[in-house]
Amino acid sequence: MRKFTVREEFLALKPYVPGYSIDEIQQKYGLAQVIKMASNENALGVSPLVREAVIRHAASVFRYPQDGSPRLVAALAALHAVPPERVVTGNGSNEIIDLMLRMLVVPGRNSIVCCAPCFSIYTIQGQIAGAEIRRVPLSEDFSFNFDGMLASVDDDTRLVFVTTPDNPSGYCPPRAAVRAFADRLAAKAPDCLLVVDEAYMDFADNEQEASLLAARDLPDNAAFLRTFSKSWGMAGLRLGYCVLPPELASLFCRARMPFSVNLLAEEAGLAALSDSAFREVILQTTREGRDSLARGLVCMGCAVWPSAANFLLFKPQVPAGACFEFLLKKGIIIRPLDSYGLPEHLRVSIGNPQENAAFLAAMRAAVSGTSRS
Ligand SMILES: *Cc1c(COP(=O)(O)O)cnc(C)c1O
């Protein structure tokens, strides 16, 4: 067999571990119905306006979209009251993370700093970009060790990643703490970009209070990532965006793949932004579901961490792996966290009220069933 010489970074790569899909579990266990609460997708599905937009524009997909999705950029700039020169869109925020890493990191020379555990795309794409990856453990309660992160930064550090609310814990630091960290980072490493990943920020009870972006307090060394994959209900269409310093935005636009935001994603994004009624319902439903799931899990003796996101981190009194498998057999997919280095914890995405009830019922059985065996 032919042997190819591949960059070492690729040989060492551990792939991203996604949650199981509904099809996979239906087939494996011969189940008619499967509930997925594993990937933090929107609990109420697609907005009717988004669905209409996709159908309405289906006949246009033989055309290339407008490069850089300028209409969507204008709408997002208006949403956040920032100049459009500061907004870029991407094929999911993951694409933006990847390109920012490649834009700022010189392979073999620069480092990035992120937490352990953290969203694995930062470290996987960081590794591909040839960055040295410095990981700072979260505190015991899953809060950020900002001092430790700052201590890990030196003159060659190009990016620092902070996820707020954090995945997988749901932890959300006060916005003043993020601002203070940005300022200390600017003083220590003027050339380093703070990437604040706000993928779940709109689920916070008070977005204004929790988000620098929502409060329109933008440090000049910070980039803010948002996504249409969660609250906007468009994970399958792949659309994300970033509010970042204008000079980086301009370089970003030069370097990115042409047309990476596809025509349907742009139209769907515009439609989603226009559907404020659907949005109110999803945010309300998610917050209520989060409270009732947390209460239910605590009643069963699980440890549950406070979450500002559309998921909960919890630790059952029975082994997490057995609990996860038990739920799978009942047709409920949640997320084991071995790949995050948390084998004793589980993460469940907030579902709709029926899904939440089914999950709690199955958990009750799991907690009593698995502890007996
Ligand atoms: C889900 C998620 C995203 C979204 O990624 P997309 O590529 O926009 O789907 C980004 N950051 C974190 C931490 C996430 O959990």
Average pLDDT (158-172) is 98
Q: pLDDT by residue (tens digit) across 266-307?
A: 999 999 999 999 999 999 999 999 999 999 999 999 999 999
163 alpha-carbon distance from chain centroid: 8
Q: In what order do the strands lie in the sheet with 303-304?
A: 303-304, 311-315, 346-349, 335-336
Q: How far is CA 203 from CA 5, 95, 159, 165, 283, in A?
A: 46, 23, 26, 9, 6
Cα of 92 to ligand 1 centre, how many Å?
7
Position in ligand 1 atom list of the atom nearest CA 239 = 8
Pocket of ligand 1 (CB under 6 A): 40, 92-94, 119, 163, 167, 197, 199, 227, 229-230, 235, 240
What's the mean per-residue pLDDT of the chain? Answer: 95
Strand, helix or coil for residue 11: helix
Q: pLDDT by residue (tens digit) across 69-84?
A: 999 999 999 999 999 9
First to last CA, the chain: 49
pLDDT at position 325 over 70: yes
Cα of 164 to ligand 1 centre, how many Å?
11
373 falls in which pLDDT band (50, 70, 90)? very low
pTM of the predicted protein model: 0.95
214 falls in which pLDDT band (50, 70, 90)? very high
The answer to whether 111 and 133 are in contact (CB under 8 A) is yes
12 falls in which pLDDT band (50, 70, 90)? confident
Label the pairing between strands 157-163 and 132-137. unpaired
- The pLDDT value recorded for residue 370 is 54
Q: pLDDT by residue (tens digit) across 95-130?
A: 999 999 999 999 999 999 999 999 999 999 999 999
Greater confidence (360 vs 7) lies with: 360
pLDDT at position 91 over 60: yes
Average pLDDT (160-174) is 97
Among protein residues, the one with the nearest Cα to ligand 1's atom 6 is: 92
Cα of 14 to ligand 1 centre, how many Å?
18
pLDDT at position 372 over 70: no
Q: pLDDT by residue (tens digit) across 227-239?
A: 999 999 999 999 9
Provide the 10 A C-beta neighbour count for residue 11: 7
Domain range annotation of the chain:
8-46+277-372, 48-275
Cα of 40 to ligand 1 centre, how many Å?
9
For the segment(s) 48-275, the CATH number from 3.40.640.10, 3.90.1300.10, 3.40.50.720, 3.10.20.340 is 3.40.640.10
Please report, as a single letter, which amino acid is at residue 79: L
pLDDT at position 20 over 50: yes
pLDDT at position 193 over 60: yes
CB neighbours of 11 closer than 8 A, spacing ≥ 6? none
CATH topology of domain 8-46+277-372: Aspartate Aminotransferase, domain 1 (3.90.1150)
Q: How far is CA 185 from CA 94, 149, 193, 356, in A?
A: 24, 9, 9, 41
Strand, helix or coil for residue 184: helix
Q: Which of 91, 121, 225 to mutate to test the pocket of ligand 1 (most atoms within 8 A of CB)?
A: 121
Six token digits for residue 325: 């498998």
- The pLDDT value recorded for residue 326 is 95
Cα of 73 to ligand 1 centre, how many Å?
19
CA pair distance 28, 333, nearest whole angstrom: 12
* Neighbouring-strand partners of residue 348: 312
Please give the radius of gyration of the chain, using alpha carbons only, rounded to the nearest integer: 21
Cα of 230 to ligand 1 centre, how many Å?
8
Position in ligand 1 atom list of the atom nearest CA 235 = 9
Among protein residues, the one with the nearest Cα to ligand 1's atom 15 is: 167
Label the pairing between strands 335-336 and 346-349. antiparallel
